[in-house]
Amino acid sequence: MKLLFIGDVVGKGGREAVRRLVPELRREYNVQFVVVNGENAAAGNGISASCVRDLVPFADVITLGDHTWDQKGFEAEIATCKNVVRPANYAKCQPGKGYGVFDNPAGGSVAVIALQGKVFMRDSAYCPFETADQVLKSLPSTVKTILVDFHAEATSEKLAMQHYLDGRVTAVIGTHTHVQTNDARVSAAGTAMLTDAGMAGGDASILGRAIPDVLQKFTTGMPVRLTVVEKGVIRLDGAVITYDPATGRASQIETLSRTIEV
């Protein structure tokens, strides 16, 4: 079977890229299950129930990261979003769930776990390594296909998580930095790894934000409103993972990057 993972969706343009490109990618790669990181889907910061509704027809699961609570009111809305997974290593008092076992339309099930890194991240979170162990212990033994979205800044922390979970999960895919890395591989133990999947956002941008705004911020050091690029060429980055549902072992991972005009 094949699973498609899409990097951080940025704003309305990113949501439009998912809407237009994911159905094509499903057909082209014969994909049965789609996971989308949607933590920047609402105007570039966080997500809302409305944005979830935009993505649900095209994504079986939506993962989140450090911008989970950026949109006012989402802490109440998340309870209604059954296929949304926020980082599992948040405090237990926070609403929502950090992982879930989801039915694969093609048969079987897929466990999706979201974790947030600690190095250089703005929000505190519990140890992602310890949390990963706890979540894996709680999964039914019948669940073989397990995907981990590790939302982290430092490549060293992402690589550490990949090696820590090697042979125990189907894939460890990094998100957050919005730049797709050139290190997609499958370990001898059958775990697909990618340090960062990239993003779905403006192609002529800096991480989905307007180039002049970001340059002004860096060159002056002053606060600047970073406009989300919603028009023009929008790029969608991701990866397709081929795996055996009977064992959960991955056999191939292939990165992709496509564009549309909005």
Q: Given the residues 67, 151, 176, 178, select the one marked as catalytic.
A: 67
Q: Chain-centre distance of CA 234, in angstroms?
A: 18
67 is catalytic: yes
Residues known to be catalytic: 67
